Amino acid sequence: MKKVLTPARGAILAAIVAGVALPATAQGQLGQALDTGERSTRQAEQTQTRINQLDDERSNMVGEFRTLIQRKTSAELYARQQSAAVESQERELASLEDQLGRVDEITSQTAPMLGELIDDLEEFIELDLPFRLEQRRENIAELRAHLEDPRVSVVERYRLIMASYTREMEYGRKNDTWTEDILIDGNEVQVQMVLFGRVALVYMDPTKRHAARYDRETKAWVPLDGKYKDEIAKAVRIIQGKRTQAIMYVPATKLAVTAE
């Protein structure tokens, strides 16, 4: 084993160098003392090394402890936030359950109202000028089918009904023309129908032999004089965009409105 020069051993060596002679017994005791001191010194070094290691371990443990404390604080904060979010969601869920509980009540009150709107629209169509009747009646049938279809929401049913009312209103604001097959004296004749808003409904065949207007009071077609035939032909061309706008003479009757 390699010897290490300790302070005690250095002092003895210094004494020997200086010419100090020691007895043999004293030299042996001194050697033992030096060995003991050397072992103590090495133990002290080992102890110091162990202390340094323990201090490093302590520092690491302190760092880990602080990290754990920070994580714990973050976890507690997250838990509080989640608890608040859960409480908010529970309140919202309770509100939704309350609203859902009233859906059946709202639906039961809305369905009859929507049915009445369809009834009123159907009555209006039957009392109106008889134009595009097949198309308008089919629309009423579709509205009733939607009213009974559970897949169609209440909101969608209402939207469809309001769209039908809007369409009926638009009929009174525009002129329209289309071909239609009707019975005249038992024969099927193709005629050109002309609708002047809700002011008048007339027709004329291509040969101008047949021309008539619908009478609201008698609910029947009344033949027209020849003076209106050219006006009807002109109106058809204007509505179809084949002629520039001009004054049109309409064979209209006075509309009587009675208050109930």
- Among 171, 194, 220, identify where a domain stops: 171
Q: How many domains does the chain have?
A: 2
What's the domain range around 115? 106-171
The model's pLDDT over 114-142, given as tens digits with 9 standing for 90+, comes to: 999 999 999 999 999 999 999 999 999 99
The model's pLDDT over 135-166, given as tens digits with 9 standing for 90+, comes to: 999 999 999 999 999 899 888 999 999 999 99
The upper half-sphere exposure of residue 90, i.e. CA atoms within 13 Å in the direction of its Cβ, equals 6
The model's pLDDT over 199-214, given as tens digits with 9 standing for 90+, comes to: 999 999 999 999 999 9
Where residue 4 falls among pLDDT bands split at 50, 70, 90? very low
Q: Do residue 167 and residue 179 come from a single domain?
A: no
User: Which residues lie closer than 8 Å to 234 by C-beta, 6 or more apart?
Assistant: 243, 246, 248
Q: Do residue 166 and residue 179 come from a single domain?
A: no
Q: Do residue 114 and residue 157 come from a single domain?
A: yes
Q: In 10 A of CB 194, how many CB atoms?
A: 24
Q: Do residue 113 and residue 167 come from a single domain?
A: yes
Q: Determine the pLDDT at residue 259.
A: 44
Within a domain: 95 = no
Q: Mean pLDDT in the chain?
A: 82
